[in-house]
Amino acid sequence: MADDYIDFDEVFEYGEHAVLRGKKLEGAHPIVAMDHVGAILQQKIDKLAEVLGLAGIKRSDLRGGSTGRGNAAQEGREELRRFWNFILSLNPKEAPYDIGAFFKDGKLGSLAALKADDVKAKVASVLLGFGVPANANFPNATTWKAALTARLDALSGAASGHTGALAEKLASTGDLEKARLDFLGYYNGVAKPVVRALLNLLGRGDEYRSFFKDLTVNEGPARDEGPEDEDDPAPTPTTSPTPVPAGVSPMAGSAGPGANLPAGDATTPLAGTSDPTR
């Protein structure tokens, strides 16, 4: 899964990785001057470093936001799991809620590898599910919306994961965003297509993703976000109450967790799934 948002610190991480990997293709075929492609990419990286320096920001300052971002992401994952477990405690035959409006295809999916921005997007998507007609009377909706909104707010410090004075400085220095976007324009619009074309020409197309770290960053444990599960196991039906936010209890008259729901893992679609393309 690709990294959908490349922040200031990741410009250096992903850019330098691409430059280093690209050196292995220099001279591989006369049709592409990979040394020239890499040199321009390095110039884009150096430009951002220069603008950061003029703004009085160090690269170590950028990395400093990782801990708070990781904590917020972990709390967001846990809230999503709690909500999913609560859904499993409901009896779909008594009230056919639209589970697909909360979770795409009616599946929780794997949360372990999601970065903070991905968790934020997933929480925001779940909140939209309360707005569909089928979920108008969803039990304990007010409490759940408050809990999920709190997690969303915690994740919304900035897409880059920085807060306080540093976030203000990053936001107020227009040249920084300009330099980041200039890098991305070349990285995504030139370097990637050139490398893909060259590798295909060499019969090595399967190596493409290894040249660009943002294309594989979410395939393993989340970066800089603390210890994680290897994957999200299926919520196992039990006779004990499902963990929910304080003051929340399953819908009156509902069966135990997982009752009347399909057995299987957390990727099994639930009854009431909405349009799978959502």
Instruction: Quick: pLDDT tens for 157-187.
Output: 544 444 445 545 555 456 788 888 999 999 9
Residues 45 and 177 in one domain: yes
Domain residues for the domain of 35 are 8-64+165-219
- Quote the percentage of the chain above a pLDDT of 70: 64
Is a pLDDT exceeding 90 seen at residue 34?
yes
Residues 84 and 25 in one domain: no
Q: What is the CA radius of gyration of the chain?
A: 22
Q: Determine the Cα–Cα distance for residues 217 and 232; give it in Å rounded to an integer.
A: 18
pLDDT of 171 reads 53
User: Comparing 246 with 97, which gets the higher pLDDT?
Assistant: 97
Is a pLDDT exceeding 60 seen at residue 236?
no
Q: Determine the Cα–Cα distance for residues 237 and 85; give it in Å rounded to an integer.
A: 9
Residue 206 lies in a domain: yes
User: What is the mean predicted confidence (pLDDT) over 87-96?
Assistant: 79
Examine the fold and report which residue of 174, 195, 219 is the final residue of a domain before the chain moves on.
Answer: 219
Report how many domains make up the chain.
2
3-state secondary structure of 78: helix
Lowest mean pLDDT among 2-16, 18-32, 91-105, 253-267: 253-267
Q: Determine the Cα–Cα distance for residues 103 and 54; give it in Å rounded to an integer.
A: 44
Give me the residue label for tokens 């009377």: 137
Cβ burial of 68 (10 Å; 0-12, 13-18, 19+) is: middle
Is a pLDDT exceeding 80 seen at residue 189?
yes
Instruction: Tell me if 12 sits within 8 A of 45, measured CB to CB.
Output: yes
Q: Determine the Cα–Cα distance for residues 10 and 275; give it in Å rounded to an integer.
A: 35
Is a pLDDT exceeding 90 seen at residue 254?
no
User: What is the mean predicted confidence (pLDDT) over 43-65?
Assistant: 75
Residues 122 and 192 in one domain: no
Is a pLDDT exceeding 80 seen at residue 195?
yes
Q: Determine the Cα–Cα distance for residues 146 and 137; give it in Å rounded to an integer.
A: 16
Residues 76 and 206 in one domain: no
User: What is the mean predicted confidence (pLDDT) over 145-166?
Assistant: 68
pLDDT of 68 reads 65
Instruction: Tell me if 151 sits within 8 A of 81, measured CB to CB.
Output: no
Residues 213 and 146 in one domain: no
- How many helical (H) and strand (E) elements, i.e. helices and strands, does the chain have? 9, 0
**Confidence band for 2, pLDDT divided at 50, 70 and 90:** low
pLDDT of 107 reads 87
What's the pLDDT tens digit per position in 106-135? Answer: 888 888 878 788 888 899 999 999 999 999
User: What is the mean predicted confidence (pLDDT) over 52-59?
Assistant: 74
Residues 60 and 77 in one domain: no
Residue 22 lies in a domain: yes
Residue 226 lies in a domain: no
First to last CA, the chain: 18
Is a pLDDT exceeding 90 seen at residue 84?
yes
Is a pLDDT exceeding 50 seen at residue 274?
no
Residue 188 lies in a domain: yes
Residue 101 lies in a domain: yes
Is a pLDDT exceeding 80 seen at residue 146?
yes
Q: Determine the Cα–Cα distance for residues 91 and 96; give it in Å rounded to an integer.
A: 8
Examine the fold and report which residue of 173, 198, 219 is the final residue of a domain before the chain moves on.
Answer: 219
Cβ burial of 249 (10 Å; 0-12, 13-18, 19+) is: middle
Residues 86 and 130 in one domain: yes
Residue 244 lies in a domain: no
Instruction: Tell me if 54 sits within 8 A of 254, measured CB to CB.
Output: no
Residue 119 lies in a domain: yes
Examine the fold and report which residue of 190, 219, 248 is the final residue of a domain before the chain moves on.
Answer: 219
Residue 227 lies in a domain: no
* 267 token code pair: 């990727």
Q: Determine the Cα–Cα distance for residues 5 and 223; give it in Å rounded to an integer.
A: 14
pLDDT of 220 reads 44
Q: Determine the Cα–Cα distance for residues 121 and 250; give it in Å rounded to an integer.
A: 26
User: What is the mean predicted confidence (pLDDT) over 71-88?
Assistant: 89
